[in-house]
Amino acid sequence: MRGPGGSLAALRDLDALSSRDVPLARLDPRAPLLVTILFSVLVASFPRGEVAALLPFLAWPVALASLAAVPARAFLRALLVPLPFVLLAALPALFVEPGAAGRAIAGSVLLRFLLTATSALLLAAVWGLPALAWGMERLGAPAILVTQLLVLWRYLFVLGEEAVRMDQARSMKTFGRRGRELSLAGPFLGTLLLRSQDRAERIDRALRARAFAGSFPALRPHRFGAGAVAFLGAWSAALVLFRLFSVPEALGRLLAGGA
């Protein structure tokens, strides 16, 4: 499936994975949230053009995917959604700094995207956004921000389905003919904006009718126990170690010494 329908289906499949009852999902979501925040800060702290020193950080998303048995196909489909935007950010480096330096910068940008995007998507696939939002609120994030995040995530599917229906209606009326996409983009987006505004008002009335108090209850209660403490401590220590010491260089020296 191509186009907006394919992207929407990929995100929906990823969101559906969080409903599985896997042992890792029973862990308090605050622990992986804190690890992922530290992970993102450490990955961003490397100088531009760094590639080899970032490779050990693949251990975090690989461990999450393995422990939660996340299906590779559904995950890769969701990862392809933001990939074009990252390519637009990485490719100019090949022209601004030609040669090995430009290739290193472009590779570093792509690798940083791979690391941070896979970590964020795996959190959503294992724990689900409601549990992560609950964890964010318990960690001190403003309640209004957490609520807006949850509503935005759910409304993304509503808006995407509306866009897919409009595109299907356009295709049926034109018998699948293309060639005027640019001229139709303005009316299409304007109609989508009006429909999304109308849908938002209906959602707001539905929430008010159900006595919505400004926050969503947690579907699965969690407790920050010994397991969460051990998980947070072990992974934090490993990630800091990856940042302070170049693991690829250490392995290279070890292999060279053994030879």
User: Domains of the chain: which residue ranges?
Assistant: 3-141+224-250
Q: Are 21 and 69 in contact (CB under 8 A)?
A: no
| pLDDT given at position 221 | 65
Q: What are phi and psi of 28, to 5 degrees?
A: -55, 125
Rounded Cα distance between 239 and 102, Å, is: 27
A 10 A CB-CB count for 4 gives 16
- pLDDT computed for residue 1 by the predictor: 43
Helix spans in 18-48 (H): 30-44
Q: Give the residue among 108, 22, 37, 118 at the shortest CA–CA distance from 78.
A: 118
Looking at residue 38, what is its pLDDT? Answer: 96
| DSSP state at residue 221 | -
Q: Is 89 helix (H, G, I), strand (E, B) or coil?
A: helix
Across the 259 residues of the chain, what is the mean pLDDT of every consecutive 10-residue run? 57 76 87 94 89 91 89 78 76 77 85 89 86 86 81 73 70 59 63 73 77 63 84 95 83 68
Tokens representing residue 144 in the block: 């209004």
CA-to-CA dists, residue 75 to 7, 88, 92, 113, angstroms: 12, 22, 27, 15
205 vs 212: CA distance, rounded Å: 10
Q: What was the pLDDT predicted at 16? A: 79
